[in-house]
Amino acid sequence: MIVSSSPLIRAVFHDMFLTARWTPLLAGDGDEATEIFRGWRPSLVLTDFNLSDMTGLELLQDLRHEDQDAVVIILCGGAYERRGKVVGFLDLEAVRAAGLKLGAYAFVLKPVDMDELLRLADKALTARETALQRRLLLPQQWSEVRPLTGVSELLGMFAAVFSVPAPRRASTDSVVSHHR
């Protein structure tokens, strides 16, 4: 899914991804993107940082709340815009760090190299598939682990692994002496 408040940017990225044999969905703002995501669960979301109703970081949080495996790539320039007007300038390193901490797959500075973006999108999908496969295998792997029956079995395993001699039992014949 391509998310941008600019119809021109949406059209350019749409055509680029179509040429690369992707079938992109389009959203004009964060709310629309969230609704489309809920219904379609696109495998990749490419979003501008500056949207008309929220930032790309806010959209990222919304999408990761819907699906913890959502793959989001955020595109960003140096300006912070609200309703199409520049209202400040971004600390790009801080925004990038925040995006990655929130779970963005990548943070790409504008201007964008289209070939590099397509390679990044392919890598992102591969990473998503790997994460999903691992998540599906984990319950199966845990189900194959036999629970221990008790403390004595745990101590026996510990002794076997670390070559600790088993404790000797006192015989009933032994004499126990006490010092007075």
pTM over 0.85? The answer is no
Break the chain into its structural domains and give their ranges.
2-139
| 8-35 burial: b if 16+ Cβ within 10 Å, else e | ebbeebbebbeeeebebbbbbbbebbbe
> What contacts 169, CB < 8 A, 6 or more positions away?
none
Q: What is the pLDDT of residue 149?
A: 60
CATH code of the region 2-139: 3.40.50.2300
CB 71 within 8 A of CB 127: yes
Q: What is the pLDDT of residues 5-38, one digit of tens each?
A: 999 999 999 999 999 999 999 999 999 999 999 9
d(CA 134, CA 129): 9
Helix (H, G, I), strand (E, B) or coil at 87: strand
